[in-house]
Amino acid sequence: MERDRSLAARSAAVIASLVVALFGCGALASVNGSATAGDGPGVGSSVKVVFVAVDLAAVARITGFNLADAGDLEAQMQAMEDWVNADGGVGGRLLDAVYRRYDPANDSPAAEEQLCNEITQDDRAFAAVLTGQLQANARPCYAARKTLVLDATLVATDNALFNRLAPYLWNPSFPEYSGFVKALISTLDDDGYFEGRTTVGVVAADNEVNRRVVEKQAVPMLRKLGLEAEIGWVDTTDQGSLFQGNDQAALTFRTKKIDRVMFLGGARLASIFGAVAAAQSYQPRLALSSFDNPGFFVNNPDTLPPSMLAGAVGIGFNPSQDVPDSELPFPSSEAEKLCVDIYADAGITFVSREAARVALTFCDAARLLKAAGDKVTGPFNATTWSDAAQTLDDFETAAGLGAALGRDSHAVAGDYRVLRYDESCPCFVYEGDNVPIP
């Protein structure tokens, strides 16, 4: 057992430090009250936007993980710049796209602050497109510098955080977090996941947003269903705390004979929990979601024994990392077809939706930037852009599912689908039609 736990520790340490790249976290400052007079930073005859790409190739080389090749991300960014500018730019201004690469092996609050400094001080950008920034200090840093963030990172971002950092924080690809949690628990209940149980294990990222949603929303919902939540809070700051928190949660759940475990907060929790639980010969039935990157487990069975996925159920909103193309033809939605066509016109093609997972988020960000920017009259800044964006109630995400923009909404994705592990594939599959997120 000690040898198994040692192996799990080493495996989890690698996952904790590097799976950041696959999942697309510090006190939070209030920054409301942006001035509407004058153009924002990085705005003149052009609008400067920095696209941040996580170094996926380095992750694959170092870890040996099986990852679909995401292609030339800088070329994908260039394709979006060319498309925007060929169609009149952003409110009549040229899009000036700048490419920056982020090394996930060195992910830390200090590294995130350095990246923020480079984008806001060196580049003096109007906006940053983020795809894998997990640390809690990242978003408040950009807001404090009055820099718009188009954030396609799979982290917990609820309405309270969107409002606190308004008008600077937007998600062009994925849903608002509190609505997601309501949908997840309701779906699990409807599916009979909790049937016959009085307690459910919850592995939860320990940050301000996730604590707020778990304590004020998830726990009361579970209690209404007659369930007590045994919560394993995990400090996601570094790989040591990630492993320690998951290991303790697995030990507690196993000791208390809890056989249902769900994950809230993303941040690499499920992958590490699976490694330490397997070492403890603990095999509960899991509830997973797009925040846990289900496709990662299918592509890399050594990180989580396939037997641990048996019976796994949850909800998905990120097809590129949820299900294979055989389960959802690629491309499917009108937004996805548009993005694929834009890249094809630039000579860029994808062998699968998974290979296009970053490209689709770049496309969502560029399309949203342009759609709102074209509606701005007068000064071009985060406030005027934000006011315009909230009128785009028919704007559809390509990377996610549905459309949810409108007044008081800062996240584009509005739908989810039931997600289930199918041992005959073996893979995750969607069931039923799109369902609106509450």
The DSSP line for 351-367 is SSTGGGHHHHHHHHHHH
pLDDT of residue 297: 85
Specify whether 140 is located in the same domain as 33.
yes
* Beta carbons of 234 and 207 less than 8 angstroms apart: no
Report how far apart, in Å, the C-alpha atoms of 93 and of each of 45, 47, 77, 311, 419 are. Answer: 5, 6, 17, 52, 42
Specify whether 287 is located in the same domain as 346.
no
Specify whether 131 is located in the same domain as 147.
yes
Specify whether 245 is located in the same domain as 298.
yes
What contacts 182, CB < 8 A, 6 or more positions away? 217, 221, 437, 438
pLDDT of residue 2: 42
Supply the CATH number for residue 353's domain.
3.40.50.2300
pLDDT of residue 3: 41
* Beta carbons of 266 and 154 less than 8 angstroms apart: yes
pTM over 0.75: yes
| Strands (DSSP E) found in 57-168 | 94-102, 127-130, 148-151
**Tokens of residue 324, six digits:** 């294979």
Q: Which residues in the chain show pLDDT less than 50?
A: 1-10, 12-35
Q: Edge-to-edge, what's the strand order for the sheet holding 260-264?
A: 228-234, 199-205, 260-264, 285-289, 313-316, 415-422, 427-436
| Sign of the torsion formed by the C-alpha atoms of 297, 227, 174 and 431 | positive
Specify whether 271 is located in the same domain as 291.
yes
- Own/partner contacts of 409-412, CB < 8 Å, gap of 24 or more, are 409/176, 410/159, 410/162, 410/166, 410/169, 410/170, 410/171, 410/176, 411/157, 411/162, 411/170, 411/171, 411/174, 411/175, 411/176, 412/171, 412/172, 412/173, 412/174, 412/364, 412/368
Closest of 119, 264, 113, 149 to residue 200, by C-alpha: 264
Specify whether 249 is located in the same domain as 142.
no
Query: What does the alpha-carbon distance between residue 16 and residue 241 come to, in Å, rounded to a whole number?
Result: 9
Query: What does the alpha-carbon distance between residue 170 and residue 274 come to, in Å, rounded to a whole number?
Result: 31
Full residue range of the structural domain in which residue 206 is found:
2-18+178-324+417-436
Number of domains in the chain: 2
Closest of 37, 29, 76 to residue 56, by C-alpha: 76
* Beta carbons of 217 and 182 less than 8 angstroms apart: yes
Specify whether 161 is located in the same domain as 217.
no
Specify whether 293 is located in the same domain as 432.
yes
pLDDT of residue 35: 47
The DSSP line for 32-54 is -----SS--TTBSSEEEEEEEEE
Q: Tell me, what DSSP letter sits at residue 28?
A: P
Specify whether 195 is located in the same domain as 170.
no
Specify whether 388 is located in the same domain as 358.
yes
Specify whether 203 is located in the same domain as 229.
yes
Residues in the chain: 438
Strands 313-316 and 415-422: antiparallel
Specify whether 107 is located in the same domain as 37.
yes
